[in-house]
Chains A and B, each alone.
Chain A
Amino acid sequence: MSETSRNPRRALSRALTRIANADVAETLAQQSGATTPEMSRIGVTGAPGAGKSTLIARLAKLRKVEEHKIAVLAIDPTSPVSQGSILGDRIRMDSIADDPDIFIRSIPSRRAHDGLTDNTADLLNAMEGHGFDEVILESVGVGQAEYTIRTLVDTVVLVLLPESGDAIQAMKAGILEMADIYVVNKADLPGAELMAAEIAQVAAHQSADDWTPPVISTSRDDPNGFAELDAAITAHTEWRKTHLDETASRRARARYQAQGLLSRRIDEIVDADSSLLDLDPQGLFDALIDKLNPKSRGA
């Protein structure tokens, strides 16, 4: 049972587990510094039940052209009670389940509260090292906090349902300003056209550097919608190549990763000595700063 399995797929799979379970010190030791991102990262987000997993399956099939290697990372919520999880996204990815060329990995959200998981940044970096051309990240649909996905992926696809109030909810949540592509899924349901029109108006205000987020209607029985989505993602990837502020993007990712690592380190410190939590806020803060100092680490 080593990472040098004769089955390369197993070696990758085990490496991902190691990264997912690494503590902060191990994570830092494994980081090889800035890499040139060759792999494009597509984030698919939206409320639970919006149809993200099913949509990703359709999409992955379309995007797997020629030698294009695709991976899917699907994040599902961890129970705050037992710390366990049911990772169910796979079942909805039936149509690609039998395609051995598409790598699907289900991941519990653990302690992360932002719709992602503790080590998303590290896991994405690891996928990069394994020759994937594209990774599709499915984030757990928790709404308001999902703007963090913006930092970690290149193209954000927001999946919405044509239900009354959904557009307003999405605007309130702030995620409407975050997406590069909007999808009104289950577009055969009543209200879909209105919804798409409303979103298109919002999106028109959001256009920057000649990218106006398209609004695409998809429904299960209409292959055109999915083809349109596939084309929109490719168009956005191309657009990004010429319009992206690479420094800003790299810095945003570095900031997110540092915040995540600090937050996890604080959890580690507090878990090791929960009496710290009995201190007053200033005392707790000072104690944490003290313990975060590498010189006192492990002491």
Chain B
Amino acid sequence: MSLNGKRILIAKPGLDGHDVGAKIIALALRDAGADVIYTGLRRSPDYIARVAVDEDVDAVGLSILSGSHKELVEETVRCLAELDAGDIHLFVGGTIPSEDHDELRQAGARGIFTAEMALDEVVAAVEADLNA
């Protein structure tokens, strides 16, 4: 199994300015064979959804360290649906307390990745999801 031929957008919504984690994930996904597009810092959910559509990605990974993950996930899901792109898979990574995971899953996140997870585990989860 690999991510060959899969297109993935790694996005930083919201106001936090730390993207080392996002870049590491981007490289790990590339090493697994994916074509990875990175948005850069501080993007709005609306912008992220538009890029996801133009780039025709299979998945969007949101990297959020600011604590506003609930709002940002919900808003991104809404913007994607508005563009008829609700079928694009959504993942969230960052500092996400475990008590929020259920709610995020219900909102539409297909995977939640925290700093404790090994990179291999994250890549494997994305692979499994996109090849399902």
Contact = CB atoms under 8 A, between A and B. Distances in A.
Query: Are both chains from one complex?
Result: yes
Interface residues of A, number: 32
Contacts of A121: none
Tell me the interface secondary structure of chain A in the complex: mixed
Interface string A92-111: 00100110100111101000
Interface of B: 3-5, 7, 26-27, 29-40, 47, 50-51, 53-56, 83-85, 87
Given A21-B5, A108-B35, 6 more contacts: A9-B54, A9-B83, A16-B56, A82-B33, A86-B30, A87-B35
A30 interface: no
B55 A13 contact: yes
A97 to B, nearest CB: 7
A82 B33 CA distance: 5
23 contacts: A1-B87, A9-B53, A9-B54, A10-B53, A10-B83, A13-B54, A21-B5, A79-B30, A81-B31, A82-B32, A84-B4, A84-B34, A86-B26, A86-B38, A87-B37, A90-B39, A90-B40, A91-B40, A97-B51, A98-B47, A105-B54, A105-B55, A106-B55
Contact of B47 (A7, A87, A97): A97
Contacts, number: 80
A83 B7 CA distance: 12
Nearest to B53: A10
Nearest to A13: B56
A112 B92 CA distance: 34
A224 interface: no
A103 B32 CA distance: 28
A48 interface: no
B54 A103 contact: yes
A46 B26 CA distance: 25
Contact of A10 (B35, B51, B85): B85
A241 interface: no
Nearest to A94: B40
Contacts of A91: 38-40
A85 interface: yes
A5 interface: yes
Interface string A14-56: 1011000100000000000000000000000000000000000
Contacts of B39: 90-91
A7 B83 contact: yes
A1 B56 CA distance: 11
A105 to B, nearest CB: 6
A13 B54 CA distance: 6
